Amino acid sequence: MVIGYTTGVYDLFHIGHLNLLRNAKSMCDKLIVGVTTDELVSYKNKRSVIPFEERLEIVRSNRYVDAVIPQESMNKFEAWEKIKFDVMFVGDDWYSSDKWQQLEQQFNEVGVRIVYFPYTKGTSSTLINSVLLSIRNDALPNL
């Protein structure tokens, strides 16, 4: 049995999230998804729109997902030590970054393969938030 693992905030669930989960599930028997906690999101001085418990339930209800766990740390190797997944799925926007080159080397030593999926350009929760903010600001009367 091949166990796959991926993580994300999954705020304002969109087609990029769906593509990642669908593609990941097609390459493993069991897909485990780490959903980033609100506390961990705040490390980037950001805040999710959808609360953690709701994001967890949204991802859990996706037919491509077999199990959902809280992602409480950015340390992917710590997650592997707990779950022992065989393959990790990540967006290709991280490909060749110093962090992921180091992780690839670390995971290679324990036989974990990292698969990079194409990042869905033009769609992101950050972009959606920006558009919504712009729409809200345009709708407000000038005071």
Token duo for residue 126: 């950050």
Burial of 21 (0-12, 13-18, 19+ CB in 10 A): buried
pLDDT of residue 122: 63
Intra-chain end-to-end CA distance of the chain, in Å: 61
Q: Which of 40, 2, 38, 34 is nearest to 20 (CA)?
A: 34
For the stretch 17-53, pLDDT in tens is 999 999 999 999 999 999 999 999 887 677 888 999 9
Question: Average of pLDDT values for 94-121?
Answer: 88
Higher local confidence (pLDDT), 31 or 130? 31
What total number of domains does the chain contain?
Answer: 1
For the stretch 48-67, pLDDT in tens is 889 999 999 999 999 999 99
Q: What is the CATH number of the domain that holds 107?
A: 3.40.50.620
How far are the Cα atoms of 21, 22, 103, 105, 126 from residue 112, in angstroms, in the given order?
A: 18, 20, 10, 10, 30
pLDDT of residue 127: 62
What is the set of active-site residues? 44, 46
What is the pTM for the complete model shown? 0.83
CA dist 40 and 48 (Å) reads 10
Residue with tokens 């996706």: 62
Residue 143's pLDDT band, with cuts at 50, 70 and 90, is very low
| Residue-number span of the structural domain to which 127 is assigned | 3-139
